[in-house]
Structure 1
């Protein structure tokens, strides 16, 4: 019998030194969805982001076509002014990374563009953005998004449209596709981009959110962007529906984080079918953190330095 996958320890959701290692191992070496090109229509307008305590901004520098393309859109480090690697997909999504040490877009996401080809992301105009903080670790929110065991009970309105009976997650290279019914693969597009971004396209609307860690491992900032083919009441109905689902997840995550911090939950086993998405992303976090720790320990030993607090925490908790 194959060994079952175990969750990350609860301490990984509560440790500041561990988060600083995650920041170097995961966040500075990943790619992030900043939005569809319709988010950046005005030439010269800076759209700002903060990811893992790094300020960046995207700007449309020229208007050679109606919608900005790769030559029009640039992403910059807000503190240094240096241009950062970015990529615009053929169907109109802008991605960027925080560091030149990250792999290229196609190395990182592999076969993603083939899946994105089924949607023209210029068809839904930008409508609204909101952001707020929650008392939970960034992984607590991703845990919830990457499985739907909780959906029938936590999201009754969503479950009416997408019954969890057939819910399946297909894991790819640094992203996951969620399919409500495997017999209807074209019924909406729900994607998780490792480590902290999502994209949900269904009906006439589209939404994305970024799970942004703060320096406090028990506090995360949520950022939502909303797009829709309609204005007025139809958009407001869609917005109300998606906000209800987000609020239900928010409340669940805060309760889960309380249990993690109080020691109610320590570590467990993941369902190999229903929680494969959780297992996939947690294993990626574990692999990258472990490799970063080994690299830094080797460097420390080669320089005859004493182990850092971060090293000791990972060595005992990983």
Structure 2
């Protein structure tokens, strides 16, 4: 019998030292969805983000829709950014990130199915939750909880045929593989999502803070309609988001109690979780190995290299 995939240890959801490794290994080397070009309609208006303690500013520089620049808010240095042919804006937060095409080599065919330049920006909200960033990504990447936790969503997208297709650095969620036009649901490693359905689009960023048990959620909403039509859509998607929020806070409580250490992932229904957790594990272990071979206390991206041992990567660690 083939061995079953196990989860990351619970300690990875509770350790400040581990998060600093994640920050260097994962977040500094990734690309982030900032939104469609309609998020940046006003020339000269600065839209500010904060990802892994890096302040990011995006701004439309002229009347041209593709003239959008992304800067480090504190230094003014321009980050590498990319605008897709259908109008999605992505950015890095470090020179350590590879090229966009290397990071998302097979993304283009999927996002070509939607013209994001036609989805007007409507609203953004953000707030903090008492959970680790991976706790929220775990929830997004599996569908076992949907029938119980999201009864209204399950009416439109029943989990019976729910499937997750994993690519190099993103996942596509499909409610029914037989319905090619059944919405577009994407997870971008490590912490961004894009959900197009019901005449609108929502996207959120799961932004880690320096405290491993606190995460800031940032949501952006786009819709073809205004007024009551948009408010109806907004109410529906916010209900789903708050159901996830409550579930994640309860899950984090259990992770921090020290009773649960790790478990087994469902080989059919939790392939999305296995995919992203393996990416985190591989990158963090590679970073740890490279840093242990370097002289200690070398400053890197504003942080001193930590002194975690190899055993601490897989054993319970205090925050």
Scaled by the length of structure 1, what TM-score is found? 0.95
289, 307, 313: which one pairs with 1:317? Answer: 313
Deviation at 1:313, TM superposition (A): 5.1
186, 189, 194: which one pairs with 1:191? Answer: 186
110, 113, 116: which one pairs with 2:111? Answer: 116
Which string of whole-angstrom CA distances, capped at 9 and with x for unpartnered residues, describes residues 119-140 of structure 1? 0001110000000000000000
Answering whether residue 40 of structure 2 is matched by residue 40 of structure 1, we say: yes
Deviation at 1:203, TM superposition (A): 1.9
83, 93, 104: which one pairs with 1:88? Answer: 83
Which string of whole-angstrom CA distances, capped at 9 and with x for unpartnered residues, describes residues 73-96 of structure 1? 100001110000000000000000
Deviation at 1:273, TM superposition (A): 0.8
Structure 2, gaps ≥5 residues long: 299-303, 315-319
C-alpha contact (below 8 Å) 1:17/1:309 kept by paired residues: no
The alignment of Structure 1 onto Structure 2 pairs a total of residues equal to: 309
C-alpha contact (below 8 Å) 1:293/1:311 kept by paired residues: no
Partner of 1:139: 134
1: CA distance, partners of 2:83 / 2:313: 39
Q: Give the match's secondary structure for 1:234.
A: helix
Deviation at 1:309, TM superposition (A): 8.2
Q: Give the match's secondary structure for 1:200.
A: strand
Structure 1 ranges of 4+ moved more than 3 A:
308-311
Partner of 1:206: 201
Which string of whole-angstrom CA distances, capped at 9 and with x for unpartnered residues, describes residues 123-159 of structure 1? 1100000000000000000000000100000000000
Partner of 1:61: 61
2: CA distance, partners of 1:220 / 1:313: 26
Computed over aligned residues only, the root mean square deviation of the Cα atoms, in angstroms, reads 1.4
Q: Give the match's secondary structure for 1:102.
A: coil
2: CA distance, partners of 1:241 / 1:104: 36
Q: Give the match's secondary structure for 2:211.
A: coil
262, 283, 292: which one pairs with 1:288? Answer: 283
Q: Give the match's secondary structure for 1:299.
A: coil
Deviation at 1:312, TM superposition (A): 2.3
Deviation at 1:113, TM superposition (A): 1.2
2: CA distance, partners of 1:197 / 1:95: 11
1: CA distance, partners of 2:278 / 2:222: 32
Which string of whole-angstrom CA distances, capped at 9 and with x for unpartnered residues, describes residues 232-266 of structure 1? 00000000000000000000000000000002321
1: CA distance, partners of 2:122 / 2:224: 9
Structure 1, gaps ≥5 residues long: none
Scaled by the length of structure 2, what TM-score is found? 0.94
C-alpha contact (below 8 Å) 2:291/2:305 kept by paired residues: no
Q: Give the match's secondary structure for 1:17.
A: helix
Partner of 2:147: 152
